[in-house]
Amino acid sequence: MISSSSSLVKRGEERIDPRNKALHISRIALEKKGENVIVMDMRGLAVFCDFFVIVSAESTRRVKAIASAIVEGLQELGLRNHHIEGEKDALWVLLDYSDVVVHVFYKTIRDFYDIERLWQDVPKELISSICQNNQLKQEYPT
């Protein structure tokens, strides 16, 4: 699941493996009760990022909480986002971390836009079972 320990998300590293960053973001989202967390491998198909992380939430309040937790969790590792959109309405919050783009959706908005269908040829990974694995939590202590 996770490659070597040298590619884990660590404080102060200049370059973090994008897949491990996506998994770390997924774990944060799940801890804040994000639902249906999917990582999409965009490498080779998109020039603007390596991975999408897509998360659903049952309320706009939860969308805001998930997005804020991701921003704070990555700031603790010295990572800043390049751009944020949608914070005010919290129907669809986009967090751009350059190599990883995070989409936190209010559930009905995610269903409407159906990004997974738009990028149907992209490899997808449902993350909930991976991020709840004790091994991952040990590698990413909180």
In angstroms, the CA 53 to CA 29 distance is: 10
pTM equals 0.80
pLDDT digits (tens, 9 = 90+) for 64-104: 999 999 999 999 989 998 999 998 999 999 999 999 999 99
pLDDT tens for each residue of 102-128: 999 999 999 999 999 989 889 998 886
Domains and CATH numbers, the chain: 17-139 (3.30.460.10)
Q: How confident is the model at residue 129 (pLDDT cuts 50, 70, 90)?
A: low
DSSP strand E in the chain: where? 35-41, 51-57, 83-85, 92-96, 100-106, 124-126
Token pair 């709840």: residue: 132
Q: What 3-state DSSP class applies to 33?
A: coil
pLDDT at 21: 95
